[in-house]
């Protein structure tokens, strides 16, 4: 594998520079004096920011973009061998790194690299610990998988020893990382277009945990099924957290106010107890906050500072994000695209003021929809009324004989009123006719369903 000498900046080209993670890595390299170029299919706020910072961005992926002065090319899992830029890189013999390999090499430049993993909750938990570090004036470098409002983006470049990033299991990308501290929030079946089953997923997380050095630390949810398979043979320190009081960190006395904001008592095995209030909804975010508090303690940050930061944290884009009101209807947008995430978000919505709870859901990938069809139906049935958009195919081309109509039939079998429309225009017109003052409308999914709510609000 090509090894970057960060003391001698070179010219690095990013194939797909506009992605949330790739753009962040490009920004870090720009700050360290590297020459950065890249390509993407469309202009965006992220590519505009990179150009302002000195990157050269092309908006067509063509072989001519690969100039002879490029020393290294970086690509994502979405780039295949038939990509014209990738093919040109191979033809010219230019060294390559995957996005994950580059991120791993960047991590090695910091004394305390922290990697936050899990099937769900990575972005929120990474954002929570980011807010704590900023509040504690620890000057961290941060790589978040979403837009964090307090830093005005997804990247913060600091000058301290702290580096915090998300760690995704898809295609085993997090196995290219070099963390000193690792967090595992949950381990469930997902990405079944890559993993064979839950056992292979657990083995992947075990291999991730095994990356931690002997003097490292793993913070892991104590309620994960098959926990022993993940932590077996580890030489690093292991701390557990969760709802169960047998965990090293746990919570009790959970209540919600009139805006669904939780307050709970944080307790640890050393007998300390603190009252914590969050500004983000849902018990799943309580669990995320407990993990962040455990990590904060591990970094020896002041507890009261952490509690204050969590109270002020208002979430990241597309995580139960308040978008606005129209005609007395409150519109929320949420990134949930797995049955567990949907359940957590809709359970949080139950505690939010509303008359009728509407969920406009866009399934994400045919593989996931087919694998969890009954689970999707049960999770979505927590809403009073469900509206389905077409499946967002993402990287997939094979429909596997599945469609949103298939999911509609499953939801209807459970006695829940469910509607399907093939276009966003039809969905928006239907909602304008059917939603009433006092209703809560959630657009949900990892695709572009957010546009429905934004169109309704005229954003």
Residues 289 and 275: their CA atoms lie apart, in Å, by 12
Nearest 5°: CA angle at 73, between 68 and 77? 145
Interhelix angle 424-434/450-457, nearest 10 degrees:
60
Residues 252 and 259: their CA atoms lie apart, in Å, by 20
Residue 454 catalytic? no
Element (DSSP H or E) covering residue 388: strand 385-388
Residues 105 and 221: their CA atoms lie apart, in Å, by 27
Is residue 181 within 8 Å of residue 110, measured between CB atoms?
A: no
Element (DSSP H or E) covering residue 182: strand 181-184
Residues 14 and 285: their CA atoms lie apart, in Å, by 34
Q: Could you say which of 27, 85, 131, 166 is catalytic?
A: 166
Nearest 5°: CA angle at 36, between 30 and 38? 135
Residue 188 catalytic? no
Residue 166 catalytic? yes
Residues 36 and 424: their CA atoms lie apart, in Å, by 38
| Residue 332 bridge partners (DSSP) | 322, 442
| Residue 276 bridge partners (DSSP) | 264
Q: Could you say which of 47, 96, 119, 123 is catalytic?
A: 123
Cβ atoms < 10 Å from Cβ of 293: 26
Q: Could you say which of 122, 180, 323, 385 is catalytic?
A: 122
Length of the chain: 459
Tell me which residue of 386, 425, 423, 428 sits closest to 407, measured CA to CA: 386
Burial 133-172 (b: 16+ CB within 10 A, else e): bbbbebebbbbbbbbbebbebbbbbbeeebbbbbbbbebb
Known catalytic residues? 122-123, 166
């Amino acid at each position: 594998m090509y090894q970057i000498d960060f003391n001698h900046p070179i010219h690095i080209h990013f194939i797909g520079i506009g992605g949330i993670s790739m753009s962040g890595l490009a920004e870090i390299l720009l700050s360290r004096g590297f020459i950065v170029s890249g390509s993407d299919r469309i202009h965006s706020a992220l590519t505009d920011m990179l150009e302002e910072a000195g990157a050269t961005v092309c908006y067509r992926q063509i072989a001519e973009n690969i100039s002879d002065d490029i020393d290294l090319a970086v690509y994502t899992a979405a780039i295949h061998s038939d990509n014209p830029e990738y093919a040109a890189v191979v033809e010219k013999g230019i060294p390559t790194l995957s996005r994950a390999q580059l991120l791993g090499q960047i991590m090695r430049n910091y004394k305390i690299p922290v990697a936050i993993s899990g099937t769900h909750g990575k972005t929120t938990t990474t954002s929570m610990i980011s807010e704590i570090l900023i509040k504690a004036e620890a000057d961290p470098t941060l790589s978040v998988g979403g837009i964090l409002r307090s830093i005005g983006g997804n990247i913060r470049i600091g000058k301290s020893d702290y580096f915090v990033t998300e760690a995704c299991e898809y295609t085993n990308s997090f196995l290219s990382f070099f963390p000193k501290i690792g967090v595992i929030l949950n381990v469930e079946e997902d990405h079944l277009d890559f993993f064979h089953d839950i056992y292979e997923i657990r083995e992947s997380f075990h291999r991730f945990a095994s990356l931690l050095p002997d003097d490292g630390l793993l913070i892991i949810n104590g309620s994960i099924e098959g926990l022993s398979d993940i932590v077996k043979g580890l030489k690093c320190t292991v701390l557990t957290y969760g709802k169960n009081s047998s965990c090293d960190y746990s919570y009790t006395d959970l209540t919600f106010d009139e805006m669904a904001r939780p307050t709970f008592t944080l307790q640890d095995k050393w007998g300390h107890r603190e009252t914590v209030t969050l500004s983000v909804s849902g018990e799943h975010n309580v669990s995320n906050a407990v993990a962040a508090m455990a990590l904060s303690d591990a970094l020896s940050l002041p507890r009261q500072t952490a509690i204050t930061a969590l109270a002020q944290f208002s979430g990241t884009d597309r995580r139960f994000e308040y978008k606005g009101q129209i005609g007395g209807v409150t519109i929320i947008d949420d990134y949930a695209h797995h049955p567990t995430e949907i359940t957590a978000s809709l359970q949080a919505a139950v505690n939010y003021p509303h008359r009728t709870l509407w969920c406009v859901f866009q399934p994400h990938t045919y593989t996931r929809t087919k694998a969890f069809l009954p689970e999707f139906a049960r999770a979505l049935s927590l809403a009073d009324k469900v509206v389905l958009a077409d499946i967002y195919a993402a990287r997939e081309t094979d429909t596997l004989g599945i469609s949103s109509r298939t999911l509609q039939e499953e939801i209807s079998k459970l006695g829940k009123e469910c509607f399907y429309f093939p276009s966003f225009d039809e969905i928006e017109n239907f909602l304008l006719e059917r939603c009433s003052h006092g209703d809560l409308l959630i657009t949900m999914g990892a695709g572009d369903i957010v546009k429905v709510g934004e169109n309704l609000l005229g954003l």
